[in-house]
Amino acid sequence: MQISHLREEYRRASLDVTDVAADPLAQFRDWFQQAQQAEVIEPNAMALATSDGEGHPNCRMVLLKEADARGFVFFTDYRSMKGQEIDATAHAALCFWWAPLERQVRLQGPVERIDPAESAAYYKQRPRGSQLGAWASAQSSVLPDRETLEARHAELDAKYPGDTVPLPEHWGGFRVIPSTYEFWQGRPSRLHDRIRYRRSGGAGTHWVIERLSP
């Protein structure tokens, strides 16, 4: 079958402004819990969109590790392409896609580095191999071959025995602080439901809820 012939008709649910919570974080948590109950594979996987100082875009998948009133947190090598682009523009967008529920959530806003103590607390929870990987890989840099990476990992494994792998200065968390959320529910005939939350009054806590055209 040709790619242009691939299509799905979404009929699972509907969404209206009367259905959603007044607080977008509460709405996200409700949908996230439903994604977990539906056994979506890695429901915390999200597309992270950034751009460089000249406006050239990039997008990749990362994992959400925290979502609270302060924002949405993920972790990375600060020297990576996404780290450099976030440092240059201080803005990003996120997108979750939960296919079994025919749902998508998008959000965008400014980004900040989290407190190093918070990064250290999460780093201690990571498997030892992942901790060593944060040291072994200079993320997004050119690598001559796989063997070089594995040799570096082995060297670090010997250098830091037991549970003594320290937090690298170049590794930690970013927090996306949403200025807008959009909750998307697939509907028949591509007449999808889209409900947007946007902040009213700049950094205020009041959210305006409105329906968008599909």
Residues annotated as part of the active site:
190
Distance, CA of 57 to CA of 48 (rounded, Å): 11
Start-to-end Cα distance in the chain: 27
Note whether 19 and 96 are within 8 A (CB).
no
Neighbours of 126 (CB within 10 A): 15
User: Helix H segments across the chain?
Assistant: 24-37, 81-89, 116-125, 128-136, 146-159
